[in-house]
Every structure is written in C-alpha cells, then in structure tokens.
Amino acid sequence: MIPNDSLDTHSAQVDHERPDKPEEACGVFGVYAPGEDVAKLTYFGLYALQHRGQESAGIATFDGDKVHLHKEMGLVSQVFNENILNELTGNLAVGHTRYSTTGSSRRVNAQPAVVSTRLGSLALAHNGNLVNTGELRAELTRRECDFLTTTDSEMIALAIASEVNSGKDWLEGALSAFTQCQGAYSLVIGTPKGMMGVRDPNGIRPLVIGILPTSPQRYVLASETCGLDIIGAEYLRDVEPGELVWITEEGMSSFHWSQKPARKLCVFEMIYFARPDSVMCGESLYSYRLEIGRILARESFIDADIVIGVPDSGIPAAIGFSQESGIPFAEGLIKNRYVGRTFIQPTQSMRESGIRMKLNPLKDVLEGKRVIIVDDSIVRGTTSRKIVKALRDAGAKEVHMRISSPPVTHPCFYGIDTDSQDQLIAATKSVEEIRQQIEVDTLAYLSWEGMLIATREDTNTFCSACFTGNYPIDIPEKVKRSKLILEKSVTV
C-alpha cells in the first residue's frame, strides 16, 4: 500500500475512540439531471449515505466544461450549507462521503478527486480499495503524472486521464484504465460529456442505478438504495460486476468490459455496513438481519429472561433471535445518537466509565435478569467487554452474548478498515478464550453456513474472506504481509 502521510490533529485525537467495529470506506453518489438542482439532490443522497463515512464529504458539479468543487473534513451537514450548494451549479453532480483506508484523514485526500485532461476535467468518487497501488503508482510516475494526494482513488482518476491524454475518448480511456486496476472499486465519475458508474469485476462494493420521476428520464447512482429513496428516485437495478454505465443526454448505455466477471459482494454489507432499509439481493437488509437472528437462535439457544441488541446494528438480529426463541425482546441499552466524532476529549474519569457517552444501560429493565445480548460482530473485543461490564453494573444476573456473524479472523484488503491480523481477537483466541476475556457467561457466533444461507442467494457469490481467509482477488505479498501476519487463524 502507499505509505500514509502522518495523520492530522483531528484524526490523531480520535484514535483512542476508534469504534471496535469494521469501518466502511465511503459512500458514492451521482446524478445526471439537466434542469434539476443536482447539488441539492446530491447533498441529500450523501446525507442518506452518511453511515458509510464520517470523516469528509465533497460534491463536484459540471456546468458545461466548468467544474465547481467543494469538499471539506466533517459530516455532510457540516461541510455544506445553502450558500455553498447554490454555488455548485450544473447538469450533473458527483458526491462522496469518506472514511479513510488508503490515504490518511486529511482535507487533501477528501473526494471527489478532480484531475485535468485534454478533454476537460473529470471528477471521481471511489468506494473500495485497490491492491496493486504500488505497481500502479510506479507506472503513473513513469508517465510523469502529478500526484496531489496519497489515495488510490486519485490514481484511478490519473490512470483515466493518462489514457485520455494519449488520444482516447472518455469511454475508451476509462475502459483502458480499469484493466490496470486490481482490487475493489465502485466508482461514480463525472465528465463534461456525461457520468459513469463502474464496478470492479467482482462487484465487491455495491452500486445501484435509480430513475428520477422527471421527463425526460434522468438517472441517479448511489452506493445503496437508501440514497435513492431520500430524493424520490426509483430503483432500476444494480450496476453489474465488471460493468460501466455511461449516462449522457442520449440516455444510459452499458459496457461489460471484464473478461471474467464473478460477483463476490462483501457479505459484511449485508450484516452491518449498509442501512437496514437498503435493498440487496431482492430484500431489505432489515429482513436479512432478522433471519440471521432467527438462525442464531436455532444454533445457540440458551434460556434467559430477555433478549436485547446493541444499538443500532444489533437490533434486527436481536428481534429475530427473540422471535425464534420465544424470549421477550427488550431495550436494555439506549444510544445517544448525537454523539458523533467529537474532537473534545472526555476526562480521564469519563474514559474509565467506558461506553456511557454512547450507550447507557436501563437498570430497571436489566436488574436481576438473565440477559442475552446480540451484536453483529466482535473485532478487538474492547467494546464488548465494556458493554458486558455496564450490563452487570446495572444489575444483570447473567449475560450471554450472541454474535450474528462468524468470528472475524482475517483482515480486509478491499475497502474495510480492519486491524492487522494479530489485533483481531478471533485470530488469536478460541471462542472460550474470547468469552473469558469479555467476561460473559456464554458466547456463541453465527455459523458461516447460516450467514450465507440466509441470503437466499448462491453462496459462492459473496466475499467472506474476513471469516475464512479465502480472498477472491489475489493480494500481492508485500500488501498481504502488512496485515496478514499469522500463518492461519485459530480453528474453533
């Protein structure tokens, strides 16, 4: 991977508060709609995708050959206001909300990435992560490309620009550039002539197409269907693995550029990343998460008084567990939804009190109860231990933890920010050892088979490398050594 620049003050301050969860790379959004307020539509689309990244946000609009760009560190609602949006005029817009993976958390690395070509500027928003960044950067350096950032996203933009500058048109240049990129990438790309939506040959990260209720028909691209819903766009279909859609005044055309497309959608999108009201594989993710909760109850039933979930992502699976087991569901933890990424440091005593800033237990619900608590994953185990302690302090008589995914034993190289393998608790400890470390009475995970069967899809069409170590795209040895430092995970 590319060496990251040193983190800025903001990111350095929040390191100790980093969530004990896998974190998504980002959300992308685009709209081609001459005559509409494309900047405002994109703002609301990004607002709906805010859960995919909270570090920075940006929008680029195209007004003929002129590009208007605004991007900054912070949440979507902090980065934009009415005055800024009014300045972002044009017929199409590309938007991005970011959580940094390749490239540190700095303003210069915020997206969209805008580069110049002989045909005008292009603006690119990227969700995912390349695995051949070293080789691609060396090739672009050989072509004397100028780098402004430390992101793989800029490299994709520069690769397209280099091909365009060699004499190709937008479409030919993009298709040629994608053959040089290895890894996960869902892209929205704006040009003076139109907008592109692209997925890598494995479709690891999602990208959907929507239609605005306008005449003539106009198109929207988004990481998830919730980004369509918020602006009243109708879901049309997914961009397919290895497909480029080209949206212009003439409409939308499709180009399948990959020789061997083979869908490997990240199964963690189903379990955790995407919003529960988004639709994947033909159903809402709320329905999928209910089902994995039901399967979890069948696989690891234990008698108890109540079932609770860790807000918000553990709630649907907890409800499913309750429905299947017959044990009543209750709210045992209340989440403060207004605690964002604060740069004001809590006092030492507040830090010692654990997670109370974000989650507070309901003592009268928990006191004297045998509690089953359902969460979607355990990565390092630090937050799980704090939650268990808070439940016991609130008077819970027993605490049984159930996890609606298998043990995370391997890091991700495709756009999820995970630790190196030695930091993943399930890579170095058995289930019993994890149970002891987080101090629960019992601990059980969802089986790998149960997780995939619940999708009701071909189980071979998902990437589950973080649970198995079977990576669908080859990882260069140098990149692999940076995270995959254990020979194999613990078998449990």
* Same-domain status, 256 and 297: no
Q: Tell me how far apart the alpha carbons of residues 389 and 381 are, in angstroms, rounded to a whole number.
A: 12
Distance (Å, rounded) from C-alpha 131 to C-alpha 144? 22
Q: Same domain, yes or no, for 242 and 330? A: no
Domain of residue 65, CATH code: 3.60.20.10
- Is 376 annotated as contributing to ligand binding? yes
Q: Comparing C-alpha atoms, which of 207, 265, 269, 270 is closest to residue 239?
A: 207
Q: Count the neighbouring beta carbons within 10 Å of the beta carbon of residue 394.
A: 19
100 contact partners, CB below 8 Å, separation of at least 6? 11, 25, 55, 109, 417
**Is 283 contained in some domain?**
no
Q: What is the pLDDT of residue 109?
A: 83
Rg value, the chain, Cα = 23
Q: Do 57 and 180 sit in the same domain of this protein? A: yes
Q: Which residues are catalytic?
A: 26
Note whether 140 and 188 are same-domain residues. Answer: yes
Spatial CA neighbour of 18 closest among 411, 360, 269, 342 = 342
Secondary structure of the chain: what % helix, strand, coil (to 5)?
35, 25, 40
Contacts of 481 (CB under 8 A, 6+ apart): none
Same domain assignment for residues 258 and 295? no
Alpha-carbon distance of 280 to 267, in angstroms, equals: 11
Is residue 159 located within the same domain as residue 48? yes
* Residue spans of beta strands (DSSP E) within 154-260: 183-190, 195-199, 208-212, 218-222, 234-238, 243-248, 251-256
Q: Are residues 237 and 176 in the same domain?
A: yes
Is 226 marked within a binding site? Answer: no
How does pLDDT run along the chain (492 residues), one tens digit per residue? 333 332 233 333 334 445 566 665 689 999 999 999 999 999 999 999 999 998 999 999 999 999 999 999 999 999 999 999 999 999 999 999 987 555 555 677 889 999 999 999 999 999 999 999 999 999 999 999 988 887 899 999 999 999 999 999 999 999 999 999 999 999 999 999 999 999 999 999 999 999 999 999 999 999 999 999 999 999 999 999 999 999 999 999 999 989 889 999 999 999 999 999 999 999 999 999 999 999 999 999 999 999 999 998 899 999 999 999 999 999 999 998 765 555 455 676 666 565 677 899 999 999 999 999 999 999 989 899 999 999 999 999 999 999 999 999 999 999 887 768 888 999 999 999 999 999 999 999 999 999 999 999 999 999 999 999 999 999 988 888 776 655 343 333
Q: Please tell me whether residues 106 and 203 are part of one structural domain.
A: yes
Single residue among 214, 247, 262 that ends a domain in this structure: 262
Give me the residue label for tokens 């991700």.
Answer: 412
466 marked as binding residue: yes
- The label of the residue with tokens 């601990």 reads 443
Q: Partners of 190 in the beta sheet?
A: 123, 195
How would you classify the pairing of strands 333-335 and 359-361? antiparallel
Q: What is the pTM of this model?
A: 0.90
> Position of tokens 């159930």?
402
The distance between the two most distant Cα atoms of the chain, rounded to a whole number of Å, is 74
Tokens of 153: 């996203």
Residue 56 CA neighbour count, 13 Å, CB half: 26
Q: Is 375 annotated as a binding residue?
A: yes
Cα–Cα distance between 59 and 39 in angstroms, integer?
Answer: 7
Which structure tokens are listed for 417? 């920010």
- Listed residue (299, 368, 296) closest to 332, CA to CA: 368
CA angle 407, 409, 415 (to 5 degrees): 105
Q: Is position 140 within any domain?
A: yes
Residue pair 374/309 in contact (Cβ under 8 Å)? The answer is yes
Same domain, 134 and 228: yes
Q: What are residue 95's phi and psi, to 5 degrees? A: -130, 160
Contact 197, 241 (CB under 8 A): no
Count of the separate structural domains present in the chain: 2
For residues 360 and 451, state if they share a domain: yes
Give the pairing of strands 92-98 and 26-32: antiparallel
User: Which domain does 385 fall in, by range?
Assistant: 289-337+346-464
Is the torsion defined by CA of 364, 367, 369, 373 positive or negative? positive
Domain's final residue, options 262, 297, 320: 262
* pLDDT at residue 89, as a whole number: 98
Residues 318 and 250 in one domain: no
Q: What token pair was written down for 248?
A: 């212009």
Do 371 and 322 reside in the same domain of the chain?
yes
